[in-house]
Structure 1
Amino acid sequence: MTTQLPRPDLEADARVKAVFDDIRKTRGTDFINNMWRWLALDPGLLERTWTEVKEVVSTPSSIDPLTKEMIYIAVSVANNCTYCIHSHTAAARAKGMTGEQYGELLAIIGLAGKTNQLATALQVPVDDAFDASKPGQ
């Protein structure tokens, strides 16, 4: 259940229209998903968020687009964000993620969650070999 409904005339605001037009151009689609429509509640927030997403996720970098989406899925699972799990799983599939890769991703997410919880519960100290602040690392 949403806490806020978007205005029906979102693109009447020039700032919102400019961001939506850039989303359409960048993604090559007319579809504006709900995340952007709801963020348009505050045009400044919409602009800042889209700028950061475009810079980090949409700009070519040393991490390929599919890996970026898979990382986004993992973080979304860890943060229990149903919306982001669905939207980034769809994006990863569109970028070529196979069913086998998705299964492996879920296995890694599940294992990481388990071992993180065990390390936290046991308060396992960090090995000096893993601590970049220790001399000789």
Structure 2
Amino acid sequence: MTNLIEYEQASDEVRAVYDDIRATRQTEYINNFWKAIANHPPTLQRTWQTVKEVMTSPGEIDPLMRELIYIAVSVTNGCDYCIASHTASGRAKGMNDTMFGELLAIVATANTTNRLANGYQIPVDEQFKNQ
């Protein structure tokens, strides 16, 4: 198991990222994902900047929808940690049990039809191209 870098043990570089996570998320909590990748500060910095930009910057996709997308990808990729953390975040942003169930039904359906399309090597219809 990877060593988790606590704030008190962290270098100044890591503490700066932790402080930004806390400020951005308005919490004192730093989760184990960040503590684990803090073992390589450049990866911590790069990953936090990307997550911060994609998940918190204003845009056309609202914060709850971003979490739902993240959960869907995490389910497909089989990332238990990401499923748990983004489900908690989704619930904090308004996701309820019914929405979660609908999301998982969509993920399951998409995975089934994707595998069928790939297995049968179905050519893309002309009307679907360049949309």
TM-score of the aligned structures, taking structure 2 as reference length: 0.94
Decide which of 101, 105, 127 is 1:103's aligned counterpart.
101
RMSD of aligned residue pairs (Cα, Å): 1.4
1:7-56 Cα distance to aligned partner (Å, 9 max, x none): 45665301100000010011111000000000100111100000010000
User: In 1, Cα distance between the equivalents of 2:35 and 2:60?
Assistant: 30
Q: How far is 1:130 from its partner?
A: 1.1
SS of alignment partner, residue 3 of structure 2: coil
Match of 1:120 in 2: 118
Greater relative contact order (Cα 8 A, min sep 6): structure 1 or 2? 2
1:63-106 Cα distance to aligned partner (Å, 9 max, x none): 00000000000100111111001000110000000111111101
Structure 2 gaps of 5+ residues are: none
Please tell me the residue identity of whatever aligns with 1:31.
Y
User: Quick check: which has more Rg, 1 or 2?
Assistant: 1
User: In 2, Cα distance between the equivalents of 1:19 and 1:9?
Assistant: 10
Contact 2:7 2:15 survives alignment (8 Å): no
The equivalences for 1:23-42 within 5 A come to 23-42=21-40
Please tell me the residue identity of whatever aligns with 1:37.
K
Decide which of 16, 19, 26 is 2:17's aligned counterpart.
19
Decide which of 54, 57, 73 is 2:55's aligned counterpart.
57
User: In 2, Cα distance between the equivalents of 1:6 and 1:113?
Assistant: 34
Please tell me the residue identity of whatever aligns with 2:11.
D
User: In 1, Cα distance between the equivalents of 2:48 and 2:23?
Assistant: 13
Please tell me the residue identity of whatever aligns with 1:53.
V
1:98-117 Cα distance to aligned partner (Å, 9 max, x none): 11111110110010011011
* Structure 1 residue 6 corresponds to structure 2 residue 9: no
Tell me the percent identity. Answer: 53
Decide which of 60, 77, 80 is 2:78's aligned counterpart.
80
Structure 1 gaps of 5+ residues are: none
